[in-house]
Amino acid sequence: MVRTGLFSNLAASATDGLKKSIKRRINFTDSLRIFVSGGSGGQGYPVYGGIGGDGGNVYLKPSEKLSLQRLRQKFPTKRFKAETGRNSRRNSLRGSTGNDYVIPVPNGVCVYTNDNTLLGDLVNVEDKLLVAKGGQGGCNTNNWNGQKGQKKVLSLELKILADVGLVGFPNAGKSTLLSKISRTKPEIAEYPFTTIKPQVGTIFYPDLRQITVADLPGLIEGAHYNVGMGHKFLRHVERTHLLLFVVDATGFRLSQRSFFRNAYETVLLLNKELELYKEHLLDKPAVLAINKLDLPDTQTEFEEVKSRLQQGDLTDIPTEMQPKTLIKFSDIIGISAKNNDGITELVDSVRHTIDDNLQERENERISANPT
């Protein structure tokens, strides 16, 4: 892959120690590979026409309290095999079926096979997903030989379940905002990449409505080249109903060797990184919060971002920074997460945007199936 201009500089600067320090701090797991095999079928007994028992199946079952770390600790070999079916015997002609293996997995896990096919998306504790079938017991169709069970290498990827995903460059104030709108106490600090593990908080509205918000690691330009935390964690926003962009009104600079980006450029670069990850994320409803309006000269910056976004103004923006499609924000709100300014307006906007979108989808569904 050829790294060009803008991104090569950032990629280079981010590799200086920063990447290493981030790697050291990542001690949580949000994906895990496991090996599953169905039980083999028992042998048949051709002389008496006895049929061997079928091998047991392997299933995955979501559980609310489990994490992938815990699963890995509990099953260090990460191998799961269901029981073999019983052979047919002279005094027990019908061999009994082998026991199934039901593996508990965290709720919210997506299950992929080795060739990246999605086998299932486990989001309900009532679900149970068949991942490896046991082999057929020996009988006349298979020459009385019990068949082998299916064997698969599976990749489990945890996608957080939340209504809203916080998207922004490092240090924008995402965690500070989450700490103000929910009872969660995320880590907050003046250095980038403080948040390395997605965390979910809940907004409690006075009428008892609740909306969950996922705080995500900071995204930076070049994330698709795996700069910073990369954009692997963006899969967590795939299931959210709304993207809440948090942008520092004073702009962003990752390190002395990187470019300074003003607030408007930051919005465009976030837009571009989402587009490069998965274009359809841009179709999600989005709200923009311009943060740190307590700092000097930020009000004019806020007004400028707002008017340029409304006009779709890309004058003087280098082509490599320009997204193909501009995100349409349903609201652009100035806040100071630190001083609690604009927070009520923001949480109201989040709620209305989610509700309007749900209503729109419901109307589309009704007009598609008028019964």
The footprint of Mg ion (CB under 5 A) covers 175, 194-195
Closer CB to Mg ion, residue 39 or residue 168? 168
Nearest to 109 by CA among 157, 63, 71, 163: 157
Q: At what angle do helices 18-25 and 5-15 cross, to 10 degrees?
A: 60
- Residue 161, classified by CB atoms within 10 Å of its CB into exposed (0-12), middle (13-18) or buried (19+), is middle
Q: How far is the CB of 240 from ligand GTP (least distance, A)?
A: 17
Comparing C-alpha atoms, which of 168, 169, 218 is closest to residue 22?
218
Residue 45 or residue 233: which is nearer to Mg ion going by CB? 233
Residues 140, 142, 143, 144, CA torsion sign: negative
| Distance in Å, CB of 342 to ligand GTP, minimum | 9
Question: For Mg ion, which is the closer residue by CB, 37 or 195?
Answer: 195
User: What is the closest distance, in whole angstroms, from the C-beta atom of residue 190 to Mg ion in the complex?
Assistant: 11
CB-based contact 107:68 (threshold 8 Å) = no
- Residue 103 in 3-state DSSP? strand
Between 122 and 290, CB nearer to ligand GTP? 290
Provide the binding-site residues for ligand GTP, judged by CB under 6 A. Answer: 168, 170-176, 188-190, 192-195, 217-218, 291-292, 294-295, 336-338
Q: What values do phi and psi take at 172, rounded to 5?
A: -70, -20
We find the least distance from the C-beta atom of residue 270 to ligand GTP, in angstroms, to be 12
> Smallest distance from the beta carbon of 193 to ligand GTP, in angstroms?
5
- Could you tell me which residues are beta bridge partners of residue 203? 211
Q: Least distance to ligand GTP from the beta carbon of 152, Å?
A: 36
Query: Which lies closer to ligand GTP via its Cβ, residue 45 or residue 277?
Result: 277
Residue among 119 and 188 whose Cβ is closer to ligand GTP: 188
**Which residue is listed with tokens 């061999």?**
95
Q: How far is CA 251 from CA 116, 134, 262, in A?
A: 38, 57, 4
